[in-house]
Structure 1
Amino acid sequence: MRSPRLILSAFLLFVLPAANSPAGAETAVGVAMDDFSYTDTSAEPANQTAAHERRLSAFMAALRRDIGADRRYRLVPSAQDGAAFKIIGGIQKTSTLVQWAKVAVIDVGAKKLVMDKLYSFRGDNDESWERAEIFVSREVMAALGTPAPVALAVFDFELEDMTAASASALAASDASYLAEVTSGVRDMLGQSGRYRIVDVGADAAKAGTLRDCGGCEASIAQKLGADQSLIGVVRRVSRTEYTLGFQVRDARTGAVLARGDSGLRMGADYSWKRGAVRLVSDRLIESQ
């Protein structure tokens, strides 16, 4: 069975306002929650509207009770009332025994989804709804406690060729291997869950050589909506020797947050990707 598309709320279609908390507000994190929508497309002959409204009301009351019972959070009416997170969702019944629940948690300040999941649960009685609420509650609480991934603009790695045979323009093979390096680093960081990779498009190419621009990559990253920027360079010492380096800056302030440099490595150009992925992973993922 294909998962149905659930229309949650027009809320996702608009830019969320930033949460403003008054001075001296509670230290607990504000959480706002809309009542979930409910759609019955099961085509059952009996009209179960009243039963579904009652069960959905009990579901929402239990979900709010679970979140409110945790001292780390406080329930508020909306983002304008100091909500740091917004929870929205919808439930759809597609057959006598199958229902689907779509749940999203939005970081209001960062305007990012920290959770967006589709669940299925069997049954349409009080007990099955209670089981579904317990499961959804655990998932939502886990999402609220997980920091949103950092939006990172990973710019194309550059080549600094220090050999006597270096040319003014990149050879086709060099460009191909550099593309593999950039792709490998982006994939590794994105899969770590700690970073959300921002598409840099053609903006980086317009800026020229980023390693010599005095930190201009930070402002480019900020314009792209990223929190941080990463640039990297492969320094070719000989055809079988190279070094690697990278640097991460805060997109807003330009401050250097992390950097890494490898020692002299042995290997031809096909080994650049492996070395770069290992270096960045060691500095940004494994050491954290």
Structure 2
Amino acid sequence: MTGTRSVRPGIRFAAAGFILAVLLSAPRAEPPPLTLAILPLKLLDTSGEPIDQGPEHARRLAAMARGLAEDLDAGGDYRSLLVTAETLRARCPDERPDCLLAVAREAGASRVFVGVVHKSSTLILQLFARVADARTGRAVLTRDLNFRGDTDEAWRRAGVFLAGQIREAGP
């Protein structure tokens, strides 16, 4: 009987060690990507330029939103949802913050992106960007970026830089 008792603790320790080794070596599940609703970007043009660039700017705003979504999705930490302007017009015609947050939550997002480009001249543009918690509306990231040139390339580079800023801030 004495010999049996001394073997059992050894077996228990070995079994516990084996289970611990299996648990520690098992691949850990990555947290699911954070879902980010990207609202349509807005433009404030105070440049006073005589040529109507509305269609060109609308295209650039949409391309920036798509590029931002693609860049964030490619990093793996985010899953982006592009909210259309039509959805917002139908659901939130006055664009109240509580309504915008509700649209984002109903789409399954835990965060929401809002961006405004301010064009003050032909060469000077600013991008005001905010990522907020879709439940509380509290800002989790705010960036004010300047970029030069009202060209497709300048807008694309600004979007790529912003995506990097959002990724660096982390989910």
Alignment TM-score > 0.5, same fold: yes
Amino acid across the alignment from 1:228: R
Q: How far off its partner does 1:233 sit?
A: 1.1
Amino acid across the alignment from 1:70: L
Q: Which runs of 5+ in 1 are unaligned?
A: 1-64, 72-136
Residues 151, 67 of structure 1: alpha-carbon distance in 2 compared, 3 angstrom cutoff: farther
Q: How far off its partner does 1:246 sit?
A: 0.9
Q: How far off its partner does 1:253 sit?
A: 1.5
Question: What CA distance in whole angstroms lies between the structure 2 residues aligned with 1:272 and 1:195?
Answer: 22
Question: What CA distance in whole angstroms lies between the structure 2 residues aligned with 1:166 and 1:195?
Answer: 40
Of 246, 265, 272 in structure 1, the residue corresponding to residue 129 of structure 2 is 246
2:41 is aligned to 157
1:266 is aligned to 148
> What's the TM-score once normalised by structure 1's chain length?
0.46
2:105 is aligned to 222
If asked which structure has higher relative contact order (CA below 8 Å, sep 6+), I would say: 2
Q: Does the 8 A contact of 1:151 with 1:226 survive in 2?
A: yes
Cα distance per residue 1:122-152 (max 9 Å; x no partner) = xxxxxxxxxxxxxxx95xx23x1x1110011
Residues 178, 246 of structure 1: alpha-carbon distance in 2 compared, 3 angstrom cutoff: same
Amino acid across the alignment from 2:164: S
Higher helix residue share:
2
Question: What CA distance in whole angstroms lies between the structure 2 residues aligned with 1:246 and 1:216?
Answer: 19
Question: Which structure 2 residues correspond to residues 33-44 of structure 1 after superposition, within 5 A?
Answer: none
Q: How far off its partner does 1:199 sit?
A: 4.4
Question: What CA distance in whole angstroms lies between the structure 2 residues aligned with 1:243 and 1:153?
Answer: 21
SS in 2 for 1:163: coil
Question: What CA distance in whole angstroms lies between the structure 2 residues aligned with 1:171 and 1:154?
Answer: 21
Higher strand residue share:
1
Q: Does the 8 A contact of 1:151 with 1:227 survive in 2?
A: yes
Question: Which structure 2 residues correspond to residues 110-149 of structure 1 after superposition, within 5 A?
Answer: 141-142=27-28, 144=29, 146-149=30-33
Q: Does the 8 A contact of 2:40 with 2:82 survive in 1?
A: no
Residues 261, 68 of structure 1: alpha-carbon distance in 2 compared, 3 angstrom cutoff: same
Please tell me the root mean square deviation across aligned C-alpha atoms, in Å.
2.8
Amino acid across the alignment from 2:149: G
SS in 2 for 1:233: strand
> What's the TM-score once normalised by structure 2's chain length?
0.74
Aligned length: 150
Q: How far off its partner does 1:236 sit?
A: 0.5
Question: What CA distance in whole angstroms lies between the structure 2 residues aligned with 1:67 and 1:166?
Answer: 72
SS in 1 for 2:56: helix
Residues 158, 170 of structure 1: alpha-carbon distance in 2 compared, 3 angstrom cutoff: farther
2:158 is aligned to 275
Q: How far off its partner does 1:209 sit?
A: 7.3
Question: What CA distance in whole angstroms lies between the structure 1 residues aligned with 2:140 and 2:46?
Answer: 27
Q: Does the 8 A contact of 1:244 with 1:276 survive in 2?
A: no
Question: What CA distance in whole angstroms lies between the structure 1 residues aligned with 2:102 and 2:88?
Answer: 11
Amino acid across the alignment from 2:38: V
Give identity over the alignment, percent: 25
Residues 67, 152 of structure 1: alpha-carbon distance in 2 compared, 3 angstrom cutoff: farther
